[in-house]
Amino acid sequence: MPGEYGASSTVPRAWRIAALPVLAVLGIALPLTFATHTEPFLFEFRAIDLLPIYGTAWLVLAAIALPVWIILTLPLLALEASHRAPFPLLARAWRVALIVLAALIVVETLVYCFETWLGTFGHSIGVPDAVVYGLAVAVGLAMALTAPGRAGLRTVRSIGAACTVMGAIAVVSLPAFGWHRAALRPTAGSPGANRPNILLLSIDALSAPHMSLYGAARPTTPNLDAFAREATTFDRAYSDGNFTTPGIASILTGTRPWSHRALQLPTWALDRTRSTSLPAVLRRNGYRLGYVSTNAHAGGSAQGFGGYFQFARTDRTQELTLCRDGLSRHLRFVCAASEVPPVAEFDHLVDLLHGPPRGNLLYDPRLAIEPALAWLAGVDRDKPIFLWVHLFPPHSPYAAPEPWLGRFDSSPLDRDTAHTQPSWAWLLSRLPSSQVHTLEARYDESVTYVDHYAGDFVRRAQDLLGPNTVVIVTADHGESFGHGYGAHTGPGLYEEIIHVPLIVKLPGQTVGKRSEALVEQVDIAPTLAEIIGVPDEADWEGRSLLGECSATELADRSAAGDDQALGASPPVFSMNFEQNPRLGALRTGSVAVMDGKWKLVHYMGVLHYPDMPPLHDELYDLSADPAERVNRIAAEPVVAQRLRQLIDAELARRGGAVRKQRATAQIPADSSRPSP
């Protein structure tokens, strides 16, 4: 094919032709598919943030494309090196194949963009793969074998090359959009020899109603039951959000989602809430901080807190994905970039090639526990320790390894990771009830699985840290199998999703207690602040629970009667605003308020979820109806109005558009980089 690009080019023809698929990805597929994804990105980020998201996606794809380019070129160079038959014919066939591959990438991209465009009008059209492949082959052959096709190929190549260069320019912007590192504020006080160590264990998707500790019929948590016998168990603890990102952000910042604005999965808390966060307070007061992550969205770096930690072990699972906590430390927008279709397709391809590990060990808790214990065993004790460990099970996929698999359902169904993924939100209503029950049993088996390792970890960690240690066990959110609503996230704020465990063991505590007080995730930071003797931050929305751990306090409440005990706590909130622009006024989503025995769920704006029924506000009497079966809103209008006023007052105070903020996240300038 002489003269394909003109004889004046000084780049060898083999390299130019082998670059065509690379240019098709970086210069055609990436910009077009990114354009189709800008709307959700603008819900999650500022418009200016599109530049580093695009630059990150380009960088990731370029890192993949460069070795692919070399691999595609070497065979062609070898074939063109010989002029003896049949090598010239094979070289020609390889060149045609490369052009067809580039055409396939472009055609698939155009079809995807067309289908996405139709979807914005509520229409859908499924173009069969055979049609796409046939069209791509025809276009590729025309470009390779005809004069008009070669002219078109030169045009496409020029467009691809220009857009590829523009992507490379976007990469140059990444340092300007990194994590802000301001100077360390003055230390409020010396660490002191008597300040306790702190162990925070968060367990992903652990629903309190599914724990035997909280009355579940199945014996799911014998080890945490035993731990709680020497700790304080809060029977009415709630997550402030209904999925990982807002839940973890509330635990660490002491603020609710309407304040910290980590509203969507790949986002993080606002700078101002990170600068007053629990890790910031502990670091300023002389603590040595470490964390171990298993979920990128529950990782210190991905959440923007990485600079406060002197030790980190990230991404402790066998899952291979580009959305990684470790990468987020250097590429702030990598989780957002992993949602761009070409990057997501590569992620999916790697997942298919890698396959799940045998024995349902994809999220083996030992991968997180062992480095955490090793750090505790060797860390310098010149300062008090804060260690945060996040375990992934019982998050989906629910299938646990032996001997837990089949413990609560011996059927041969749904026994591996591929068949125990949830049906999200109202899609659960499409499943037969028998399958829902099996999935729920698999989830409970996974709860027992993580309980085994969590209990052992807490015991060993306490032995290493010593008696002067505060231990907190909680969850980021729960998991739903009822009300025709599956898993978590979305507007669903059912008890299975937002009622989470909270167990607090004070230094030297040996007597177990239970509290009926209403509490929430934002109470954890003030509780620890009071324990270590430092003041709350002004923007924290929770309260200290140290008094609730007092035997006298609990005894007084118990003697006062159930109704008074239920009404003695301030109201608590849980919410989801994932379909609301992150920095805009909060007008679309759902908010639940729990006050005494009552729970009101308020739905806001126009929500869009598959199979979603008409949504109306719901009021439940949790003392008489813990399963939330009877909506009392018509029967109790005065109660509903009072609770709605609580929500409206908070939204009026905190639900406005976020004003432009200076970068104030107080990450230590002299922070040593955590270990990978």
Residue 549's closest CA among 510, 581, 586?
510
Task: Give the pLDDT mean for 472-499.
Answer: 98
End-to-end CA separation in angstroms for the chain:
50
More confident residue, 395 or 561: 395
Q: Are residues 167 and 310 part of one domain?
A: no
More confident residue, 213 or 127: 213
- Looking at residue 485, the DSSP 8-state letter turns out to be -
Contact 37, 174 (CB under 8 A): no
Whether 671 has a pLDDT exceeding 80, the answer reads no
Residues of the chain above pLDDT 70, percent? 91
Q: Are residues 246 and 172 part of one domain?
A: no
Q: Are residues 82 and 219 part of one domain?
A: no
Whether 452 has a pLDDT exceeding 50, the answer reads yes
Range of the domain at 491: 197-318+357-569
Q: Are residues 287 and 147 part of one domain?
A: no
pLDDT tens for 174-224 read: 999 987 654 344 444 455 558 999 999 999 999 999 999 999 999 999 999
Q: Residue 550: what pLDDT?
A: 74
Residue 321's closest CA among 367, 354, 292?
354
Per mean pLDDT, which range of 114-128, 428-442, 536-550 is the poorest? 114-128
pLDDT tens for 247-298 read: 999 999 999 999 999 999 999 999 999 999 999 999 999 999 999 999 999 9
What pairs with residue 232 in β-bridges? 504, 513
Q: Residue 552: what pLDDT?
A: 54
Helices (H), 583-655: 637-654
Q: Is residue 600 part of a domain?
A: no
Tokens of 70: 């070399």
- Looking at residue 425, the DSSP 8-state letter turns out to be B
* Final residue belonging to a domain, choices 569, 590, 606: 569
Residue 166's closest CA among 7, 27, 322, 315?
27
Q: Is residue 344 part of a domain?
A: no
CA 665 distance to own-chain centroid: 21
When pLDDT is cut at 50, 70 and 90, the band that residue 668 belongs to is very low
**pTM value?**
0.91
Contact 580, 241 (CB under 8 A): no
Whether 161 has a pLDDT exceeding 80, the answer reads yes
173-176 long-range CB contacts below 8 Å, 24 or more apart? 173/51, 173/52, 173/55, 174/52, 174/55, 174/56, 174/59, 174/331, 176/52
Quick check: helix, strand or coil at residue 219?
A: coil
Q: Residue 568: what pLDDT?
A: 73
Q: Is residue 232 part of a domain?
A: yes
Q: Residue 551: what pLDDT?
A: 55
pLDDT tens for 302-346 read: 999 999 999 999 999 988 788 999 999 999 999 999 999 999 998
* Final residue belonging to a domain, choices 569, 604, 638: 569
What is the overall mean pLDDT for the chain?
A: 91
Distances (CA, A) of 173 to 54, 397, 467: 10, 37, 49
Tokens of 631: 């909506």
Say how far apart CA 402 and CA 409 lie, in whole Å. 13
Q: Are residues 223 and 142 part of one domain?
A: no
The tally of CA atoms less than 13 A away on the side-chain side of residue 284 is 21
Say how far apart CA 534 and CA 512 lie, in whole Å. 26
Q: Is residue 471 part of a domain?
A: yes
Q: Is residue 613 part of a domain?
A: no
Contact 262, 303 (CB under 8 A): yes
CA 130 distance to own-chain centroid: 35
Q: Are residues 501 and 559 part of one domain?
A: yes
Whether 675 has a pLDDT exceeding 90, the answer reads no
Q: Are residues 548 and 502 part of one domain?
A: yes
Q: Are residues 25 and 143 part of one domain?
A: yes
Q: Are residues 472 and 375 part of one domain?
A: yes
How many domains is the chain built from? 2
When pLDDT is cut at 50, 70 and 90, the band that residue 13 belongs to is confident
* Final residue belonging to a domain, choices 522, 544, 569: 569
Q: Residue 587: what pLDDT?
A: 97
Q: Is residue 212 part of a domain?
A: yes
Describe the crossing of helices 147-172 and 87-119 by its angle, rounded to 10 degrees: 60
Which CATH number does the domain housing residue 251 bear? 3.40.720.10
Helices (H), 285-339: 325-328, 334-337
Contact 511, 480 (CB under 8 A): no
When pLDDT is cut at 50, 70 and 90, the band that residue 576 belongs to is very high
What are the respective helix, strand and coil percentages of the chain, to the nearest 5?
45, 10, 40
Helices and strands per DSSP (H, E), number in the chain: 22, 12
Q: Are residues 202 and 172 part of one domain?
A: no
Distances (CA, A) of 582 to 43, 603, 665: 6, 17, 18
Residue 225's closest CA among 233, 234, 217?
233
pLDDT tens for 31-53 read: 999 999 998 999 999 999 999 99
Q: Is residue 581 part of a domain?
A: no
3-state secondary structure 293-305: CCCHHHCCCCCCC
Q: Are residues 440 and 530 part of one domain?
A: yes
Q: Are residues 77 and 214 part of one domain?
A: no
Per mean pLDDT, which range of 142-156, 193-207, 324-338, 561-575 is the poorest? 561-575
Q: Is residue 234 part of a domain?
A: yes
Task: Give the pLDDT mean for 648-652.
Answer: 98
